[in-house]
Structure 1
Amino acid sequence: MFKLPDLPSSQAEVHELADFVELLCWVRGSTSKREVVAYLGRVDDNDNNIGCDDNEDGNSDFLDEVMNEIERRVFACGVGYPFQLDLEGTVLRYNMNDDGERSIIYLYLLLSTRLNMTKNRVHERIDGTSLFEEVCAHVLKNYLGKTRAKALVFGTAVTESFQDKIKALCEQLCEGSGYKNPDVMPSVDRDGKLDVVAWVPFTDRRAGQLIVFSQCKTGTNWKDHVAQLNPGAFVQKWIDGTIAVTPVRSFCVTEACDQSRWNSACIDAGILLDRCRLVDFCDNIDPTLLSNVNRWTTAAKSHVVSKMAW
């Protein structure tokens, strides 16, 4: 997988190269298909092909797929996509004057996909992975209907025990009566793989409501984790009393997912919110959260640029 500050490999997939084009455009202000080919070493200065089909049409067709993916992102994000593709689909330009919340969130998600978020998640003393859970909570609330829906971050409250977090969750949901441990030995679990909970309560506060349990992953190594959270098993295992309707499973990722594998990813993950879907529902984000996202992104970008050899 393509990780900054390195270049993508010659085996990079379309969605990876689309990220590279966006990053190159963000740093340089604009980029073209020809410049991308040169950077990746797919053709040399004399148009001799390297590591690709032995004809110019093969190179052009492949970069067309990448530009088509960028065009798809323009559509999927709605307004606020931070780049502009020209009418010919060959040149991408960075909208540097767009400081709207959608643009800020997109660039944060782009960087937190391509950085190594195990080693480089903290910038400006802000943890980028924790930010992502907060962003996902906001997005899920918007998705369920911001005027009535509620959401909370479950997984990062390190000051609370797992038992306390379960108890607080039951109180807010008005369902379940608290924590239970199915085993004789004390549990060492911290979050049960649950990161964010969103729900739509009724005024009567009775059981039987739409609840969403979501797991959130930055980076690109999320595919092996999509089946870790099982809402029904979570409720049965950790919650005393009754949750009348089994929560719906969701999975949030910073990556703009590979469209050729989208359907199978949704089957495995539940309601899948990738980068473009998150941007599509990020409106009216808390100003403090947005400020922290912007600070993290600015510092992370500076870190990447200082390490780049391209």
Structure 2
Amino acid sequence: RHNDIDGTQLLEYLSAEVVKSYFGTRSQSMVFGTAVQGGFKEKIDDLCVKIGEGAGYKGRGKITGSPKDDKLDVVVWVDFKDKYWSKLIGFGQCKTGTTFDDQATIELQPRAFCDKWLIDAPAIEPIKLFFCSQNYPIGDYSKVKNAGLVFDRMRIMDCLIAEELSDSLYQKITAWCTEALAFIQNAQ
């Protein structure tokens, strides 16, 4: 946390913008993760309305524990003008930090998420996305296979269109980076 801005939440919002750039001009995205306020059921219902699939929260009695986001941080989809089912959807998990073991890359499982929480699974299984703030071992097939479509810091920068970021997000990124650099310089 720098400049009273949570870097983990900042990565979720940045990832939602970057993935729209990658998926194309007709794509839409949303942050689902802990950066978004609201209860889990309400977030599931909102997700289903926005993507036009899933039909809402699948009530399974009382939710045990607190799923918060059940590892789903970012959702992207590409609608057709008809808004019907059968569209490209991606479910993404964001990770900050410096280590990404295999466990971290297998936490989000889109099919299991849909089966657990949605009344109806999307017509096409959402593809798995993995966003991380560090360099990721893209050349390691087994790690990439576990992670899905990887957006590490290099790929995030490759897809980032700074002019399309909202002023608010741009200012938060700038403030967080400025404070993080000052923290590093003061630690030396």
Interval of TM-score (by shorter of Structure 1 and Structure 2): over 0.9
* CA apart distance, 1:157: 4.3
* CA apart distance, 1:177: 1.5
CA distance in structure 1 between the partners assigned to 2:136 and 2:99 by the alignment = 12
* CA apart distance, 1:281: 0.5
CA contact (8 A) 1:212 1:247 kept: yes
1:227 equivalent in alignment to 2:106: yes
Letter in 2 for 1:230: Q
Letter in 2 for 1:179: Y
Q: Paired residue for 2:17?
A: 138
Aligned-partner SS, 1:206:
coil
CA contact (8 A) 2:114 2:120 kept: no
* CA apart distance, 1:156: 2.1
Letter in 1 for 2:80: F
The structure with more radius of gyration: 1
- What percent of counterpart residues are identical? 38
Gaps of 5+ in 1: 1-121
- Superposed CA RMSD in Å reads 1.4
CA contact (8 A) 2:12 2:35 kept: no
Q: 1:280 to 1:249 in 2, by over 3 A?
A: same
Letter in 2 for 1:164: E
CA distance in structure 2 between the partners assigned to 1:221 and 1:254 by the alignment = 10
- The within-5 A match list for 1:1-310 is 122-145=1-24, 147-157=25-35, 159-182=37-60, 184-187=61-64, 188-223=66-101, 224-258=103-137, 261-283=139-161, 284-308=164-188
Letter in 2 for 1:227: I
Structure 1 consecutive aligned stretches of length 4 or more whose deviation exceeds 4 Å:
none
* CA apart distance, 1:291: 1.4
CA distance in structure 2 between the partners assigned to 1:222 and 1:168 by the alignment = 30
CA distance in structure 2 between the partners assigned to 1:226 and 1:256 by the alignment = 14
Aligned-partner SS, 2:29:
strand
Between the two proteins, the alignment pairs up a number of residues equal to 184
CA distance in structure 1 between the partners assigned to 2:63 and 2:131 by the alignment = 30
* CA apart distance, 1:256: 1.3
CA contact (8 A) 1:181 1:237 kept: no
Letter in 2 for 1:219: G
Letter in 2 for 1:169: L
Highest relative contact order (Cα 8 Å, sep 6+), 1 or 2? 2
Give the TM-score taking structure 1 as reference length.
0.57
Letter in 2 for 1:267: K
241-250 vs 166-175, which moves further: 241-250
Letter in 2 for 1:235: C
Q: 1:158 to 1:138 in 2, by over 3 A?
A: closer
Letter in 2 for 1:148: R
Gaps of 5+ in 2: none
